[in-house]
Amino acid sequence: MSSHLNWMIIRNNNAFLLKKRNINKPFSTEANNLTNLSSFRYSGVVHRKSVGIVDTPDKKGFTVVYKKAKAINKPAKATVKSTMKAGARRSLHKLKVLLKKNKYRVDLTKVALRRASAVLRSQKPLPAKKTRTAKKAD
């Protein structure tokens, strides 16, 4: 089946759909959805090629999870995981090259880079809050 037909079947009713009150666009909790929005473009379930970026367990870098287009009928062999820990700038460059060499979708490249940089930013230690000194009572 085509990805468009799959999307038309699952778009309003699937296990990953997350609807909130007063928000028009529903969210999605599916694995390879980079923006967590329920839309055809970012859906990781219906497309032959999809990319997901997750945190590494040791909080030092990120893991790229992507689908192989040739193994679409074998779900166990379809996903490939690649961990990138070489520093922020180098890892983002490696991600960009990986997506370009594997001829992945061009519309997902910038979104994947934003997601990866957000994951890396979340791993940075936050500066300690300075305590406020009490005013002297004169």
DSSP state of 3: H
Do 11 and 38 share a structural domain? Answer: yes
Contact of 99 with 82, CB cutoff 8 Å: no
Mean residue pLDDT of the chain comes to 90
Do 84 and 109 share a structural domain? Answer: yes
95, part of any domain: yes
Do 25 and 78 share a structural domain? Answer: no
How many structural domains is the chain composed of? 2
pTM to 2 decimals? 0.82
Residues whose CB is less than 8 angstroms from the CB of residue 108 and which lie 6 or more positions away in sequence, other chains included? 34, 42, 50, 51, 99
Does residue 19 surpass a pLDDT of 70?
yes
Do 80 and 40 share a structural domain? Answer: no
> Tens of pLDDT along 35-85?
999 999 999 889 888 899 999 999 899 999 998 888 888 888 889 999 999
Task: Kindly indicate the confidence band of residue 138, based on its pLDDT and cuts at 50, 70 and 90.
Answer: low
Do 38 and 56 share a structural domain? Answer: no
Domain holding 33, by residue range, is 1-47
**What are the DSSP calls for 60-118, one per residue?**
SSEEEEEE-STTTT-HHHHEEEEEE-S-HHHHHHHHHHHHHHTT--GGGHHHHHHHHHH
Task: Kindly indicate the confidence band of residue 122, based on its pLDDT and cuts at 50, 70 and 90.
Answer: very high
Do 117 and 68 share a structural domain? Answer: yes
129, part of any domain: no
